[in-house]
Amino acid sequence: MAESDNIIVETAEKIFADLADPQTINNDRKDAWKAPLWLALSEAGLPLAWVPDDLGGSGASLADGFALLNAAGRFAIAVPLAETMLAGWLLAQAKIASPEGEMTVLPASPKDRITLNPDGSLSGRVRGVPFAKAAKHFAVLAHGTGGVSIALVDAGKAKIEAGLNVGYDDSDVVTLERAAPITIKPAPKHLDQTTVMLMGGVVRSLQIAGALESMLDISVRYSNERVAFEKKISKFQAVQHNLAKLAGESAAALAAATSAADAIASATAFNDAVYLEAASAKIRCAEAAEKGGAIAHQVHGAIGFTIEHILHRYSLRALAWRDDFGSESYWAVELGKLVANRGADELWPLVASR
């Protein structure tokens, strides 16, 4: 997914290159770049890429959408493209048409819940919701006495407590107090909160992998420009060793994320095999974000920590994305439970099948 092999990715990369240049964004203290970027993405139909044509979207495949998100990670864009795509996908599962504008998903953590009340209203308090403050609508997964439902909710019906993640992007607390949804329908039998968290986890894994690719490129370029003791620092063995480790972390993250994306794109249901791929990807990519970001900053030295340099746009977002839709520690425990429940004899067949 690192290469532009389809028109969707090519279109996105051109838009990102023209309107989401990291250094330009870094120097823009008033966020004037956001509106033109979102307008261009919307006109290209990218935020609703996973929404079928008959529901108001572009009808792109899961594979194309995943490739788009990996490209977005390489630019570390701070607009709710991934969140709107995920919200559109969730609404489409219940045949609910997606509105125009920014959206995000509730909840964004496996431990939070939204309740469907007997009167059809929604209640609950969920934390760490990406770009909730910027969203015009929420795609909500709600639990009621009759099972799981999917709802479209006007963001104006919610109480939003603004917050920031470590990448300085919106990560808000959203409270619904008997909020009336615009539309609500039963979720398909195969879809539950774990499914949504796995899907979101793979989305974040692809973004992390993309960010790591950019961190590697930036670090290699810097090491070939920076001179110390009358030679480029890329000639020092310690720096070469660090860059090799960073390349390894980037490659591992990309392999895990793309494997999970391929598993979801080709599967008919979120079975144990998909669970293994998706959970493993989030765990491995989160680990790579921590190790890779540390190495990239070590190569850059003090300059990599300054607000003027673009490196922190990637490293901090990669670190922030680790916690969305379940942290690596959460998925490590859940994956362990899955393996234990299947029994020792089933472990090797499950792993070998991938």
pLDDT at 346: 82
Looking at the chain, which runs of residues are DSSP E strands?
A: 103-106, 115-116, 122-130, 137-144, 147-154, 159-161, 171-179, 183-186, 227-228, 231-232
CATH 2.40.110.10 residue ranges of the chain are 102-189
Would you state the structure tokens that stand for residue 233, as one six-digit string? 């620092």
Task: Return left, alpha or beta for 150; rule: phi > 0 is left, psi -120 to 50 is alpha, else beta.
Answer: beta
The DSSP call for residue 326 is: S
Cβ atoms 309, 303 nearer than 8 A: yes
Cβ atoms 135, 102 nearer than 8 A: yes
Percent of residues in the chain assigned helix, strand, coil, to nearest 5 = 55, 15, 30
- Split the chain (354 residues) into runs of 10 and give each run's mean pLDDT: 67 95 88 95 97 94 96 95 98 97 97 97 98 98 96 98 95 98 96 97 98 98 90 92 97 98 94 94 98 96 86 96 97 94 84 74
pLDDT at 307: 84
How far apart CA 182 and CA 208 sit, in angstroms, is 33
Cα→Cα distances 192→150, 153, 188, 276, Å: 10, 18, 8, 17
Residue 276 CB neighbours (<10 A): 19
- Tell if the pTM clears 0.85, that is, is over it: yes
Would you state the structure tokens that stand for residue 136, as one six-digit string? 């015009």
How far apart CA 237 and CA 171 sit, in angstroms, is 40
CATH code for the domain defined by 102-189: 2.40.110.10
Q: Side chain identity at 31, as an amino acid letter?
A: D
Neighbouring-strand partners of residue 160: 174
- Angle between the 328-342 and 272-300 helix axes, to the nearest 10 degrees? 150
pLDDT at 5: 53
CATH 1.20.140.10 residue ranges of the chain are 193-352
What's domain 193-352's architecture? Up-down Bundle (1.20)
What is the total residue count of the chain? 354
Tally of CA atoms within 13 A in the half-sphere of 325 that contains its CB: 26
Cβ atoms 191, 148 nearer than 8 A: yes
Phi, psi angle pair for 105, to nearest 5° = -110, 140
What is the secondary structure of 223-277 as a DSSP string? HTT-EETTEEGGGSHHHHHHHHHHHHHHHHHHHHHHHHHHHHHH-SS--HHHHHH
Residue 40 CB neighbours (<10 A): 18
